[in-house]
Structure formats: C-alpha cells, structure tokens
Structure 1
C-alpha cells in the first residue's frame, strides 16, 4: 500500500520556476512575484498554497481598471447597466423587474432584479431609460 502524502509534503512538491512573473523562491514554500503597479499596496510574497499554475489566455484577461476591490482586497461585483425591463403581473399587483449586467470576475453576468429595490440601492443607473418589453404573464 502506498504511503499517504501529508498536506505539507504536497505543498512542498508544488514548485514554480523563477522567471517571467516569479522573481524568487523565498524559503521552501513561498515565492516573490512581480506585480503590476496597480497592486503596489499588495505584499509581493505568497505562500505556495495561494498560487496556481496557469497558462495565460488573453481573451480571458481582465484589465485591472475594471476590477473593484474593497479595503480587505475582496472582489466587489457592481452593476454596470440596465439592459431590459419587464412588468410581471401577479394576482393583485404588478412588479417591474429589470435585467442587470454585472462586472463579474467570471465574465459577463446578468440577473433579473426588482426595479424598486434596485433603484433604491443604485440610483445612478436610472439616469438613462432602459428599453422595456411587453408585460409577461
């Protein structure tokens, strides 16, 4: 029966080559990376568990100007524009819903939201009128 590899051993087996964006190996399980100027406030040394090997795919690259992060460096998804509007008829009332495009880190993402609730949270998106469609039943 083969011997089980511990998490620590597995991390020490994962190695990156110095070059391109990897500036140096720091100790046995950390690397110093070259970061773009926009990330100058981020410490450039990372533990190997926070790194993944990847091949660059230019069509999937996201410009740093399009990424919004909060003070704890978490990605913040924000609505970009209102694409469509529909009126949903219920038994005794009607509700207006809007189709919203978000700046998602996974690529273009769309959701349907209640207009009244959304207008309260993001009034700046309502300066332009979004197209409307016929009422849905």
Structure 2
C-alpha cells in the first residue's frame, strides 16, 4: 500500500499525504492505479510514482485513519491546533522568533515552523493563556 499525496502544497512546500490505499496495478514504468474510496470518486485514480509514498507494513502498526471532509475543489479546511515549540534565530543584529505549529489532520512530524508575529496575527487563539 502507498499513501497518496493530497492535491496541493501547503506552506514551506511540504507535501501532505492521505491514505494508505491499495495499489491495483502498475501502468507503465512510472504510474500506478489505486483503489480510492467512494468519497474520492471524482479523482482520477492513476498517479505518477513521484506522488506516492511507500508504506512499510508492520503487523503491530495501527493506523488511526480520520476521514477528511473534502470540498468540491478537492481541498480541505486546516487549522492550527497548538504551539509545540518556540525558538529564536539570530541574524547578525536581529533576533527572529519562530513557533513550531501542529496542524489539524496531520501528525506532529508534519509540524511547521512559522514566524511568531505572523501566527499571532492570524491565529490569536494559540497565544491566549
């Protein structure tokens, strides 16, 4: 099984994956046909190998699969959940504060570092204490 890249790139050019889905067949040297759920019936089920991520089977691995609410344009709503870490980077005579943000529908390995000032302006609920 492989995970399928969700059809957009979000912040810092980080690809987001959904899945895993079963590979039905190999088409040519670089394409695969996947068994997609009915919710993704409008999506073409053939993907280039660069859009797939290998799933390594582990019998003790339990997948917590949460169904995404996809909109008509195949996007989904994403929101910031919490601040995981803070850091200050020094550039010559400037200090730039960053926060590491955990996003909904993603695990902590896919957290992103964002400018604290920007996040405080757009997501003030994270800074209320």
TM-score (norm 1): 0.40
Larger strand fraction of residues: 2
Between structure 1 and structure 2, the one with the greater Rg is 1
Structure having the higher helix fraction is: 1
* TM-score between the two structures when normalised by the length of structure 2: 0.41
